[in-house]
Amino acid sequence: MVLDAGVEPSREVVFLLGALAEPTGAALATAGLIERERRQADELRQVGETQASSNRVLAATIVRLNSHGQIRDSLVAAAGASNGEAQIVEALSAITRRSVVLQDSFGNQRAFIGVGDSPAPSNLYALVTNLSAALLMLNAGWRSTRIQSGREMLGVIGIYDPDDVRSDDDRFAVDYASAMIAVELAHDRRVAEVEIRLGRDLADDLVTGADVVDALARAEALHFDLSRSQRVVLVSWEDLTPNHVDIGGALRRVLATMRVPALISRRPGIVLAVVADCDISNLYDMMSSTVSSPRGTIGVGGRCTTAELARSFAEATTALNVRVRSHPAYGLSSHDDLGLLRILNSSDGGVELGLYLDKWLGELVRHDRDHHSELVHTLTVYLDSGGNYDRTADGLMVHRSTLRYRLRRIREVTGRDLTDPDSRLNLHIAVRARAALGVSPL
């Protein structure tokens, strides 16, 4: 402390100034200490608050980790069950206390656990890949998570959360369950691919006359019972369906839905299936719905034993050829329903059949060949339509006058009366037999 004065102070003034300066300095020093202690106290309080916050975050992290650990343990235990997918879905529903569904990559339901009155959703896969207003409305309230292996989408897991209030634990549980199910689905797919390959090889061998004892052992490994009666089914569809679905895969799914055991293989342009002898009369309708196209043909061979599958394959081929050359060309034809066409005999090299076809259709076939006409096809559609002019004209997509002209030419070329029952019967047998053979033997 420095004091400045205009004149030198007296001794008394100096004494007085000293007496005042000493407690003033002490007071200032004390005030400085108090301020420093106050700042230190503030710093310590801030450190304490930071430490308390860190302790709270650490405690919350420990609680969250413990909770996540319990979720993992619960899901791992569920995955160890024989039906792991369903158990994982059930465990996830118990953890989140919500409805949970698992669907494959085609939108088919694999597992569903409902809580309350929430119904199972439909095709969440289509919803996450193509945002459709109709699907959004239909599946309102469902939150979807993709199940992937690398870039390949294996399915979808959905949780019913209309208010979107899932907790952190809920979201962790869904993500962890999705990862575990991805492992399950990827494994199932690899196993299925091996089974498909083995089934394809076995189907090929069966229709070409494989050793029965060896075939039985191979079929048993694939859980396919060859001790039952079998049939061969051939399926042909337009090359590119509207929804770009593989015909072999579609046939496999449809037969699985119908609960018809099958071994499936391929031929150029055709899918071959050896199926257990079951009712498959609605196979064409289900396939049409699955591939979103009616432009397909199915031929079904006769019932047979394992050793006779080559015969059933030949019968299915005949049935397919008959259907392809019939009107309409799309649909299912069974060899059991071919009637007179079942007795086609080529044991003599087709000589007798060739003579029969030449007698009834020879002139017409040669006329078509020489004049580039379609009289054989016109006759086939006319007879398949029961002689009905309107259906025949529609089937040929020609005017009635054009149809009348063609029918007159058919009468002139063949010399046959199309109103005569015997002529109509033999002509119909001839055109159907020609179709059954696939190519004309003339």
pLDDT in tens, 297-320: 999 998 999 888 888 998 898 888
Confidence check: pLDDT of 275 > 50: yes
Q: Over the chain, what is the mean pLDDT?
A: 83
Q: Report the pLDDT value the prediction gives residue 342, as an integer from 0 to 100.
A: 57
Determine the average pLDDT of the residues in 413-426.
Answer: 88
Are 395 and 377 contacting, i.e. CB atoms less than 8 angstroms apart? no
Confidence check: pLDDT of 337 > 60: yes
Q: Report the pLDDT value the prediction gives residue 283, as an integer from 0 to 100.
A: 94
Q: Report the pLDDT value the prediction gives residue 347, as an integer from 0 to 100.
A: 43
Confidence check: pLDDT of 441 > 50: no
* Residues above pLDDT 90, as percent of the chain: 18
Confidence check: pLDDT of 257 > 60: yes
Q: Report the pLDDT value the prediction gives residue 24, as an integer from 0 to 100.
A: 83
Confidence check: pLDDT of 111 > 70: yes
Confidence check: pLDDT of 291 > 50: yes
